[in-house]
Amino acid sequence: MCGIVGYVGPKNAVPLLIEGLKRLEYRGYDSAGVAVRQADGALAILKRVGRLSNLEEALDATPVAGGLGIGHTRWATHGEPSEINSHPHLDGSGRIAVVHNGIIENYLALRAELEAKGHVFRSQTDTEVIPHLIEEILKGGGKSRLEAIREALRSARGAYALGIVFRDEPDALYAARCGSPLIVGVGDGEQFIASDVPAILNRVNKVIYLNDGEVAELRPAGVAVSKLDGTPAAPEIKAVTLKAEAAERAGFETFMLKEIHEQPRVLRTLLDAHVRKDGSVDLGEASALLEAQAQNAQRVLILSCGTAHYAGMYGRLLIERWADIPCETDLGSEFRYRQPRLPERTLAIAVSQSGETADTLASVRLAREMGCKVVSICNVPGSTLLRESDAALLTQAGPEIGVASTKAFTAQLMAFALLAIRLGRLRGALDEKRERELTAELARIPDYIHRVLDRQDDIRAISQKYYECFNALYLGRRFNYPIALEGALKNKEISYQHAEGYAAGEMKHGPIALINELLPVVCLCTPTADEVRDKMVSNLKEVEARKGRIVAVVAEGDESLRGLAQDVIPVPETIEELSPLVNVVALQLFAYHNAKARGADIDKPRNLAKSVTVE
Ligand code: G6P
């Protein structure tokens, strides 16, 4: 939610801020703004509602330039998207500008105190209290700007990543973090801040991941980091290993399409990292914790939100089947409020692409308080989740910019497969031979996905028949039930066609009432032979009897459903446990082309944000 970028150095900050904001637009896109300290001593503020391109046009019409600036792209929480509510926000004197990601929870109390002292607020945002607080502290005299920032933040409660500039200090950019991500890009004679590494990929190759409760003072010559109480911190400078191309569209029409096509490579990378030549699984950094927990744990608890939750539902099935441990899943937003009861020795697994989802983090903190060890499956190095976990399995999918998750999801599925195999081996539920068979089949998955991608034109043609429908139903059983949910989610997220995922066996308990000749029913019917396949065919018959329009995902060579389904999407056949990795790619393409035909803005679906850092 919300992207922040900032620059101090000898160059004109404006193009650098815009470049960074373009790469952060996936975090929010209902308005954008910049504050730039100009050479004439003025602090130029420009904001526009809507996409970043509106701000760019405004900057073309009214050029501003200067070596110090901050920028912001917003996903509204407090106050509707409007120019007044857009960031940067100013103090009363117009000398202090602030951009913020997060929520200042006690802003109403702070605002009331400041109003009583004569401060006049212009916006409905929580953020505006920060520049006013700093102004108030500086008014008292005797404090440096850095001290005033620290003091202001000591009275703020909630989550924030902040970028702060002062009109009267042209060579200093201040940044602070508590609960929302923020990095410092360390350059040569210039420094940056950003919500995420891709924003400054072309510009620096060293970064500092700020910790909660730290404030950074960036000057062209260097960066100093201190804690809120004023004691100096010793920041660790890390090399950036990502390539700039990772955050580019690489010739694809959208990031989402690029990311769908990256899946074979992403999964291959993950396999190369964790499957040894002899076919055994090595979970690297997570190994020690899993070895300690494998026999000890009485239960596994999987915590996540959104698409990651569907990966968790899949993970549960695998862990129960291959590792023979009772396993439950919960949504972060439910777990934290349900007064959970956990067996004493519960191993928690948190799943998150971003590692910043507020509800997932809160549920992890609660699980830890209850004594759980936490392993995270996460895509973003340096994220809050990784810091708060006991061990991690990085999905290594690279930056995912399209708001609807694709490659991060399949990487989560693959990570669960690896983890379940390893746990199974450690617990003696799988023998060496079975481990090798399974990793050999895992190694075939990237090629199977290539074959699904090769069918893109056919899938597009099928989607063209249904894109005008108002609703769609997705059905799957057992391992493909979470994939029915994910397929429906993908569709509604990007195309705005109402879509529901259902366990096929539950269809007769409700959604069957929806079925008529206007309803496409997407059914996951692979593999051809397993114990739930016949049940699935019975469900298809029930749909057919009510004139529903069946789109069946079937195994290549399976002709048995052609008479029953209006359309079939053949995909390579693998074992049932791994079929979700293949099937979901067909559903991603189906949703994609549906959305495209409906004219949607696929990478930036309305109202959504990539990383949900509020509850
Ligand atoms: C948002 C995104 C989803 C994502 C969910 C959880 O809603 O739009 O694509 O699945 O957050 O995000 P996480 O980063 O925790 O996986």
Q: What is the CA radius of gyration of the chain?
A: 25
- Report CA dihedral (203, 204, 208, 214) to the nearest 10 degrees: -40
**Lowest mean pLDDT across 134-143, 276-285, 528-537, 598-607:** 528-537
Single-letter code of the amino acid located at 36: V
Comparing CA positions, the residue from 273, 236, 262 lying closest to residue 410 is 262
pLDDT of residue 172: 98
Mutate to test the pocket of ligand 1, among 309, 331, 353 (most ligand atoms within 8 A of CB): 353
Q: Are residues 233 and 214 in contact, defined by beta-carbon separation less than 8 angstroms?
A: yes
Instruction: For residue 308, report the distance from its CA to the centre of ligand 1, in Å.
Output: 7
Tokens of 55: 């701000």
**What pLDDT is stored for residue 243 in this prediction?**
82
Which pLDDT tens digit goes with each residue over 318-336? 999 999 999 999 999 999 9
Instruction: Look at residue 515 and tell me whether its pLDDT is greater than 80.
Output: yes
Task: Report how far residue 203's alpha carbon sits from residue 190's, in angstroms, rounded to the nearest whole number.
Answer: 10
Could you tell me the sign of the dihedral formed by the alpha carbons of 82, 85, 88, 91, in that order? positive
Strands 3-8 and 206-209: what pairing? unpaired
Nearest atom within ligand 1 for CA of residue 385:
15
- Which residue minimizes the CA distance to atom 1 of ligand 1? 610
Give the pLDDT mean for 440-462. Answer: 98
Q: What is the pLDDT of residue 442?
A: 98
Query: Ligand 1: distance of its center to the CA of 145 in Å?
Result: 37
pLDDT at 572 over 90: yes
| Residue 162 in contact with ligand 1 by CB distance below 6 A | no
240 within 8 A of 247, measured Cβ to Cβ:
no
CA dihedral 364→367→371→375, nearest 10 degrees, is -40
CA of 229 to the centre of ligand 1 (A): 34
92 CA from centroid of ligand 1 (Å): 37
Q: How many residues does the chain have?
A: 615
Q: Give the nearest ligand 1 atom to 307 CA.
A: 10
The closest residue, in CA terms, to atom 4 on ligand 1 is 306
- For residue 405, the ligand 1 atom closest to its alpha carbon is 9
- 263-274 and 407-426 are packed helices; what angle lies between their axes, rounded to 10 degrees? 20
Task: Compute the C-alpha angle 133/138/144, nearest 5°.
Answer: 120
Q: Return the H-helix or E-strand segment holding 307.
A: helix 306-318
Pocket test for ligand 1, best of 1, 304, 305, 588 (most atoms within 8 A of CB): 305
Q: Nearest-CA neighbor of 298 among 248, 221, 373?
A: 373
To test ligand 1's pocket by mutation, which of 26, 384, 412, 612 has the most ligand atoms within 8 angstroms of CB? 612
Nearest CA to ligand 1 atom 8: 610
| Helix residue spans in 427-495 (DSSP H) | 432-454, 456-466, 481-495
Residue 248 binned pLDDT confidence (cut-offs 50, 70, 90): confident
Indicate the SS3 state at residue 152: helix
pLDDT at 363: 97
Q: Are 170 and 153 in contact (CB under 8 A)?
A: no
Residues 6+ away with beta carbon under 8 Å from 592: 256, 257, 260, 494, 602
Check residue 247 and give its pLDDT. 81
pLDDT score of 614 more than 80: no
Pocket test for ligand 1, best of 376, 380, 610, 615 (most atoms within 8 A of CB): 610
Find the 24 Cα to ligand 1 centroid distance in Å: 15
Q: What was the pLDDT predicted at 607? A: 87
d(CA 321, CA 257): 33
pLDDT at 246: 81
Specify the pairing of strand 471-476 against strand 520-524. Answer: parallel
The rounded Å distance from CA 470 to ligand 1 centre is: 25
Domains 3-245 and 252-446 alike in fold: no
What is the fold, at CATH topology level, of the domain defined by 3-245?
Glutamine Phosphoribosylpyrophosphate, subunit 1, domain 1 (3.60.20)
Fold of the 455-602 domain: Rossmann fold (3.40.50)
Condensed to tens digits (0 to 9), the pLDDT of residues 66-77 reads 999 999 998 888
**210 CA to middle of ligand 1, Å?**
22
* pLDDT in the model for residue 555: 96
Which residue among 310, 352, 354, 361 has the greatest number of ligand 1 atoms within 8 angstroms of its CB, and so is best to mutate? 354
Amino acid residing at 151: E
- pLDDT of the residue at 153: 98
Whether residue 580 is preceded by a cis peptide bond, meaning omega within 30 degrees of 0, is: no
Edge-first strand order for the sheet with 346-352 is 327-331, 299-304, 346-352, 373-378, 391-394
- Please name the helix (run of DSSP H) or strand (run of DSSP E) that holds residue 288, with its range, or none: helix 287-294
Of the listed ranges 72-76, 365-369, 581-585, the least confidently predicted one is: 72-76
Q: With bands split at pLDDT 50, 70 and 90, how would you rate the model's confidence at 234?
A: very high
610 catalytic? Reply is: yes
Q: Which atom of ligand 1 is nearest to the CA of 309?
A: 10
Q: How far apart are the first and last CA of the chain?
A: 11
Residue located via tokens 């699984």: 281
Residue 3's DSSP bridge partners are 73
Q: Which residues pair with 304 in a beta bridge?
A: 331, 351
- pTM equals 0.92
Q: Is 2 marked active-site?
A: yes
Q: Can you tell me the distance from the alpha carbon of 78 to that of 49, in angstroms, rounded to the nearest whole number?
A: 15
Contact of 553 with 587, CB cutoff 8 Å: yes
180 lines ligand 1 (CB under 6 A): no
Please tell me the distance from the alpha carbon of residue 393 to that of residue 412, in angstroms, as a whole number.
9
Q: How far apart are CA 271 and CA 390, in angstroms?
A: 22
Q: Which atom of ligand 1 is nearest to the CA of 304?
A: 15
Q: Beta strands 373-378 and 391-394: pairing type?
A: parallel
pLDDT tens across 103-151, in order? 999 999 999 999 999 999 999 999 999 999 999 999 999 999 999 999 9
The CA distance from 297 to 349, in Å, is 12
Quickly tell me which residue has 């269809």 as its tokens: 507
User: H-helix or E-strand containing 9?
Assistant: none
Domain ranges of the chain: 3-245, 252-446, 455-602
Kindly state if the Cβ of 463 falls inside 6 Å of ligand 1: no
Look at residue 29 in the predicted model and tell me its pLDDT: 84
Which ligand 1 atom is the nearest neighbour of the CA of 608? 8
Catalytic residue of the set 258, 407, 492, 610: 610
Question: Quick check: CB of 612 below 6 Å from ligand 1?
Answer: yes
Q: Is ligand 1 within 6 A of the CB of residue 406? A: no
The two tokens of residue 371 are 């004594």
Q: Is 125 in the pocket of ligand 1 (CB under 6 A)?
A: no
Cβ of residue 611 lying under 6 Å from some atom of ligand 1: yes
pLDDT exceeds cutoff 80 at 466: yes
Core vs surface per residue 143-158: b (16+ CB within 10 A) or e:
eebbebbbbbbeebee
**Cα 97 to averaged position of ligand 1 atoms, centre (Å):** 30
Q: How far is the CA of 93 from the centre of ligand 1 (A)?
A: 39
pLDDT of 32 higher than 90: yes
The predicted model gives 521-530 an average pLDDT of 91
Task: Tell me how far the alpha carbon of residue 309 lies from the centroid of ligand 1, in angstroms.
Answer: 9
Output the CATH code of domain 252-446.
3.40.50.10490
